[in-house]
Amino acid sequence: MAALDFVGGVGLKMLKLMISALVVTSATFPQLAIAQERFQGRVVLELMDDGRNARLVEDFVYHDPNNLDWKAPKNPVVNGASIPRLFWTVIGGPFEGKYRNASVIHDVACEKQTRPWRATHEAFYKASRHAGTSEKLAKIMYAAVFHFGPRWGPSTGVRTLQTKDDLKRMRMYIDSHPQISLKGIETLTSAELLRIHPVISPQMDDLPDD
């Protein structure tokens, strides 16, 4: 009974004060508030006559879990080029799956190059997952853009995967190790993949030559 009295009296007052303090803190220091990951707007594309490119008709934004906004304003031309074309046969075209929103954000960010390439590729992964792409497929796409996608700035690093066979073995490895972390994907090497998968699965022959 004593515990009930505490909650009903002093305890309730203390709870109200704590809630009020949290509200004031969030309003005064918005960076301390929990980030709300979301897409803002719609991806509306106007197909261009060249059969390859599309133009954004409306503004679109991805708010990532770190409170960063990845903006794709209307008018830029996108074509999925930030995703290696070799991978299109495996995962589909850049505007076909649930990762379409992420592909648009990634295209624009890779063109602007205002943020580090590593952060840009990671945002692509997070946006893909937020859009409903499976974890394994999102990791395969992340591996594709990390190892074979665009890089810029003073710290581009050394590409540890470079060939078409590396690409195939990378896909095989992630298929068999779906719990691999993003860091683990980043540290994959050609020698390691060759040791684990000396024979390339015939299913990987679906990848085009260019």
pLDDT at position 25 over 50: no
Alpha carbon separation from 108 to 10, 50, 72, 83 (Å, rounded): 55, 19, 6, 12
Distance in angstroms (rounded) separating the CA atoms of residues 31 and 42: 26
Residue 84 lies in a domain: yes
Q: Tell me the mean pLDDT in the region 165-175.
A: 92
What is the rounded average pLDDT of the residues 188-202? 94
Is residue 22 domain-resident?
no
**Residue 25 belongs to a domain:** no
pLDDT of residue 92: 58
Interval 163-184 mean pLDDT: 93
Domains held by the chain: number: 1
Residue 142 is assigned to a structural domain of this protein:
yes
Q: Which two tokens stand for residue 116?
A: 């580090």
Residue 28 lies in a domain: no
pLDDT the model gives residue 28:
44
Residue 19 lies in a domain: no
pLDDT, tens only, 87-107: 666 555 656 678 889 999 999
Residues spanned by the domain of 75 = 38-206
Q: How confident is the model at residue 204 (pLDDT cuts 50, 70, 90)?
A: confident
Cα distances (Å, whole numbers) of residue 168 to 47, 186, 192: 31, 16, 13
* 184, 145 Cβ separation under 8 angstroms: no
Within a domain: 127: yes
pLDDT of 19 higher than 50 = no
> 21 lies in a domain?
no
Average pLDDT taken over every residue of the chain = 81
